[in-house]
Chains A and B, each alone.
Chain A
Amino acid sequence: MTRLDDELDADEALILGQARRGLGPTNTDEQRLLQNLRVQIALGPSGQLSEAPKSPWPWRIAGTLGVIGAVALSGGLGYQKGLKAGIAQQNQARLLANALPVGSALPAQPNPELTVPAAPERVSPSIAKSLPAPSAARARSEASAPSAAPSAAPAPAALGLDEEVRQLRRVERAIRESNPRLALVLLAELKREIPKGQLLEERCAAGILADCQLGADAAVARARAFVEKHAGSAYTTRVIEICGLESKRNSLPPGTDRPR
């Protein structure tokens, strides 16, 4: 009996070990799931997900902190600071540029859909109005923007901006994680859903950054055009760095080297 038990134990251990490996996810499963999670997390809480199990109060507090953590994770330090300071969501979109890292170069095609918008479109009146203490460069560019629209924007427009900001956060995260292909897919989705948004400059810059991360030749020319048209943009330094326009840095107007 003892002998049989020992054999069964060994047999149990063997089959359980094999089953443990067989029941686990494949590398493909893991990567696919992680990719989907990154997109979901960048989107933020949807309110349609399963709740955590009933938990004692420290865990509920942890859940609240988790929401803050999620925002920080999806948006980087810039967002966290913005939240702490109570800066409006539109301003967070402006901070996207400061969180973008230099990405790895990968072979790919440029994105022809994303073109450099004309300068007057670069700052929407409602956003410009909400910007805190603009830099000298930004103040100059805002001075050339169209005259301000009425401050009481209609509700549909506000909702559109909200969604546009949310989707741009996803794009920004993809670029920050050196996933330019995902960034371009998300940008195309954004263009389809909100064709005439208020953050066209941000979309254009993000598209250029993604193309530059992909190593597309045409992206460099578009990056130069962007820098020339938007010398005061918060994205200018990023575009110069990621797209390798070092020679352009010296020709920028004073005060545009490190926009904040």
Chain B
Amino acid sequence: MVSELDGLPDHSQSGPRPSEFELLYAQYVGFVWRALRTLGVPERALDDAAQEVFIVVHRGLSGFRGESQLRTWLYGIVRNVAYKQARRVRRKDRAEPIDEQITSPEPTPGEHAEEAQAADFVQRFALGLPEKKREIFLLALVEQFSIPEVAEMTGVPLNTAYTRLRAVRAEFRAALLRHRGAHDSTG
């Protein structure tokens, strides 16, 4: 996983040094945000969901020293919060189609437009997967964790993780081909 510590606010000139929690926040906020989106939390509920995740993390942070243990625990919280939020939204907007849960990318110039379109495609693909495959897709393909790491984080046997990855990767390739084909024919 790519470290995001570079995005940490600079407290070197004035004010207090960042706390352990704020360091962890800077390192994992991207992962948490992407995971919540990929696991089905609608845009309008993202802030609340991310806040809930980090509050729970803050309450239980002490005692974690190993990166692996912390990451697995953090992902467990993300997953709980995401599915709870998704259930809450489903109850509230039972008839809302997936298309309306995803904010279509605003037209932005150049590189950002491509990123927004790719995010839109990946998010739609993920939301069309069953939960177990969606987790594998998120952790192995989007977040680039190794399969042993994914198996640990999701609590499934290693062979099961490999099997699911093969299946989800084949589905992703097929979806990507269709996407490119449609894009080429319209472009």
State how many angstroms separate the Cβ of A230 from the closest Cβ of chain B: 26
12 A-B pairs with C-beta separation under 8 A: A8-B176, A12-B141, A15-B118, A16-B141, A18-B115, A20-B142, A22-B105, A23-B142, A50-B53, A62-B62, A103-B14, A104-B14
User: Which residue in chain A gives the minimum CB-CB distance to B143?
Assistant: A20
Q: Is the CB of A52 within 8 A of B76?
A: yes
With A19-B142, A22-B116, A177-B15 given, is the CB distance from A33 to B64 under 8 Å? no
B-side residues, CB < 8 A to A, are 7, 9, 14-16, 19, 21-22, 25, 29-30, 33-34, 37-38, 47, 50-56, 58-64, 73, 76-77, 79-81, 84, 105, 112, 114-123, 141-144, 169, 172-173, 176-177, 180
List, in ascending order, chain A residues with CB within 8 A of B141's CB: 12, 16
Say what secondary structure dominates the interface of chain A: helix
User: Which residue in chain B gives the minimum CB-CB distance to A51?
Assistant: B56
A-side residues, CB < 8 A to B, are 8, 11-12, 15-16, 18-25, 27, 29-30, 32-34, 36-37, 40-41, 45, 49-53, 55, 58-59, 61-63, 65-70, 73, 101, 103-104, 176-178
Which 3 pairs of residues, A with B, have the shortest CB-CB distance?
A: A22-B119, A62-B63, A18-B118
Q: Is the CB of A19 within 8 A of B115?
A: yes
Q: Is the CB of A70 within 8 A of B77?
A: no
List, in ascending order, chain B residues with CB within 8 A of A103's CB: 14-15
User: Which residue in chain B gives the minimum CB-CB distance to A99?
Assistant: B16
